[in-house]
Amino acid sequence: MLSQLVRGRGSEAGPVVLDRRRIYILPTRLGAVFAVFLTAMLIGSINYGLSLGYVLTFLLGGVAVVGILHTYKNLQGLKIADAGASPAFAGEDAVFHLEFAAPGPRFALNLLNRSAEPVRFDVEATRRASVRIPATRRGRLKPGRFTLSSVYPLGLLRAWSYVQLDHAAIVYPKPGGIPLERMAAGEADTGERPGTREGSDDFAGLRAWQPGDSPRQVAWKVAARSGMLATKRFSDVEGATVLFDWGNLASLDAEARLSQLARWVLDAEQADLRYGLRIPGIEIAPGNGLPHRQRCLEALALFGLPEHG
């Protein structure tokens, strides 16, 4: 048991139920002071033959012994399960969710991870607790071991247990600094550009001219006044299709390419474009929507990493 306490049990699939083999209990600093105080009271009662001193000493000692049981039972029987993890971008916090269930109320629980701030909560029947852990680099982030503890009800003893579930959060590359609007003509393969339909198109504003735009859409009066080409946008313009290609960012190193591609995926999704992604070994067909966005970002996050890294 001591070796398990020092090394930990390793990752577990869960759910985990806390029993006597998983719960450890020791006096807190306050509990140690209380024990010294009781010892002094007992010695004084013996030396001076104080009957009321004996009564008070053993009364307080009995309360402390009962407190051991209540502190232990505050963790005993708790069921802990993985409730998923929210993805994050490198440099942000990934959020890990744990689901707690108990046959009765549990009070003043403290959930701690060495990389995060403590989370304090009670459990009536079920409760979800979330822990924010800094994500410093892309890939899979495993939170490691959690420590669940409690000093309820007297604060004289601390009961704790270690939990290390087999779960991970996906950390996307930190988005690069070049927005999609400034993307050079050779940095992406482009399919259909916006084109107007004949009929009742509603004018929706101007945008910068892009190669492939129809001359009929160019705002020539604006170009004559400002010297810059601009393209008219209409409310029923057909969406563009863009393919973001790893090979078109040859001037950047691998991590910088992944960051820049992540930025363009976010920009394209925000602009409601159809976009695809091509990186070595992976090609994702054009599409849009949150599942498509997540698929592209996950491919960038896990590129070049071991399958179970």
pLDDT (tens digit per residue) in 64-85: 999 999 999 999 999 999 999 9
pTM of the model: 0.73
What pLDDT score does 305 carry? 86
Helix, strand, coil percentages for the chain (3-state, nearest 5) = 30, 30, 35
Does residue 229 have a pLDDT over 90? no
pLDDT, tens digit (0-9, with 9 covering 90-100), for 142-189: 999 999 999 999 999 999 999 999 889 999 999 988 787 655 334 444
CA distance 138 to 175: 11
- Look at residue 24 and give its three-state secondary structure: strand
DSSP class of 240 = P
pLDDT, tens digit (0-9, with 9 covering 90-100), for 277-306: 999 999 999 998 999 999 999 999 999 888
- Domains, the chain, ordered by start: 1-172 (2.60.40.3770), 180-302 (no CATH)
